């Protein structure tokens, strides 16, 4: 006789406010190789008309000799890579500060994200959340930092995120 009872095993669901500890460092599980399509689509979707991002002939006459990846794509990618560790349970992003771009990104570069928890505090406006400040760095395959910034995020406390139990009941039969 077999037991037909299924046990639901809960996987990673992101950090809550209580899980953040200043000085902890999170590293992205995977890198992400930037493609020509990523850069071209993002550049044109955002109406960025700087030809350095889409005109190979013009870019060949620059000091880089090739197309530069749109820096706001780099920001978006590194923020996105940090979401599982930092803001999957965010109520809101509160701001990005001190964005620095010390090295260029080119098509074919593989980027990684490293995020350090700088500080945290209770929210004065929302009892169900706290504010976490982090510093994220995008690092390419050669170990060069390509973006460095801080951001503040309002994070739900455990048991307060609206999606804690969002999976629908399954109809059997």
Q: Is residue 101 part of a domain?
A: yes
Q: Is residue 4 part of a domain?
A: no
Q: Is residue 11 part of a domain?
A: no
Q: How many alpha carbons lie under 13 Å from residue 173 in its C-beta half-sphere?
A: 2
Tens of pLDDT along 41-88?
A: 999 999 999 999 999 999 999 999 999 999 999 999 999 999 999 999
pLDDT score of 75: 97
Q: Is residue 164 part of a domain?
A: no
pTM of the entire structure? 0.88
Q: Give the total number of structural domains in the chain.
A: 1
pLDDT score of 168: 79
Range of the domain at 83: 17-156
Asked if residue 167 has pLDDT above 80, the reply is no
Tens of pLDDT along 9-22?
A: 676 788 999 999 99
Q: What is the 3-state secondary structure (H, E, C) of the chain?
A: CCCCCCCCCCCCCCCCHHHCCCCCEEECCCCEECCHHHHHHHHHHCCCCCHHHCCHHHHHCCCCCCCECCHHHHHHHHHHHHCCCCCCCEEEEEEEEEEECCCCCECCCEEEEEEEEEEEEECCCCCCEEEEEEEEEEEECCCCEEEEEEEEEEEECCCCCCCCCCCCCCCCC
Tens of pLDDT along 109-161?
A: 999 999 999 999 999 999 999 999 999 999 999 999 999 999 999 999 998 88
pLDDT score of 134: 98
pLDDT score of 68: 96
The enclosing domain of 112 has a CATH number of 3.10.129.10
């Amino acid at each position: 006789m077999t037991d037909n009872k299924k046990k639901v095993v809960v996987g990673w669901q992101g950090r809550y406010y209580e899980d953040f500890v200043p000085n902890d460092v999170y590293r992205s599980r995977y890198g992400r190789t930037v493609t020509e399509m990523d850069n071209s689509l993002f550049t044109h979707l955002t109406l960025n008309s700087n030809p350095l991002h889409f005109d190979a002939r013009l870019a060949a006459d620059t000091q880089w000799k090739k197309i530069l990846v749109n820096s706001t794509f780099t920001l978006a990618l590194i923020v996105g890579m940090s979401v599982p560790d930092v803001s999957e349970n965010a109520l809101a992003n509160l701001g990005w500060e001190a964005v620095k771009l010390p090295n260029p990104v080119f098509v074919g570069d593989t980027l990684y994200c490293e995020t350090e928890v700088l500080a945290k505090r209770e929210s004065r406006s929302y009892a169900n959340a706290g504010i976490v400040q982090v510093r994220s760095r995008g690092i390419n395959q050669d170990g060069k930092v390509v973006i460095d910034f801080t951001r503040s995020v309002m994070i739900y406390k455990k048991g307060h995120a609206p999606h804690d139990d969002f999976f629908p009941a399954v109809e059997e039969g």
